[in-house]
Amino acid sequence: MLMCLAIPAKILSLQGEKAQVDFGQGVLRDVNVSLVEAKLGDYVLVHAGYAIQILEEKEALETLSLWNDVLASTGE
């Protein structure tokens, strides 16, 4: 496994510090969520079985719109 790799997954159910998450394509796993304040339905970044951060969809879209601005500016 890659030690700085972290994969996004969606929280399906929560029970204390444990959550069942969906990595997509039917891959479900229990992960530890004690390092984040995650809610049901949140996307979290999972590293070695532990959620280390919550993914912000709003930020993702803003990043892309920022890129579009940069790319739209004409090059000299």
Partner 1 sequence: MSANLRFRNPELAQNIAKKIREVAPKKGQVKICHVCGTHEWTITHFGLRSLLPENVEVIAGPGCPVCIVPAAEIDEAVLLAKQGQVITCFGDLLRVPGSESSLLEAKAAGADVRIVYALSDAVEMAKKEPEKDFVFHAVGFETTAPITAVEALGDLPKNFSFLVSHRLIPPAMELLLGVGDLEIDGFLAPGHVSAIIGLKPYELFTRVYRMPTVVAGFEPNDVLMAIYMVVKQHSENDAKLENEYSRVVKPEGNKKAQEMIEKAFEVVAGNWRGIGRLPDSALQLRESLAQYDARKKYGVKVEQGKDILLGCECHLVIIGKIKPKECPMFLKACTPAKPVGACMVSSEGTCRVWAKNVAANSP
Token couple for 28: 């479900």
DSSP annotation of 73? S
Of 2 and 25, the one with the shorter C-beta distance to partner 1 is 2
Of 13 and 34, the one with the shorter C-beta distance to partner 1 is 34
- Give the whole-angstrom CA distance, residue 57 versus residue 12: 17
Of 9-28, binders to partner 1 (CB under 8 A) are: none
Residues that bind partner 1 (CB under 8 A): 1-6, 31-32, 34-37, 45, 47-50, 52-53, 55-57, 59-64, 67, 70-71, 75-76
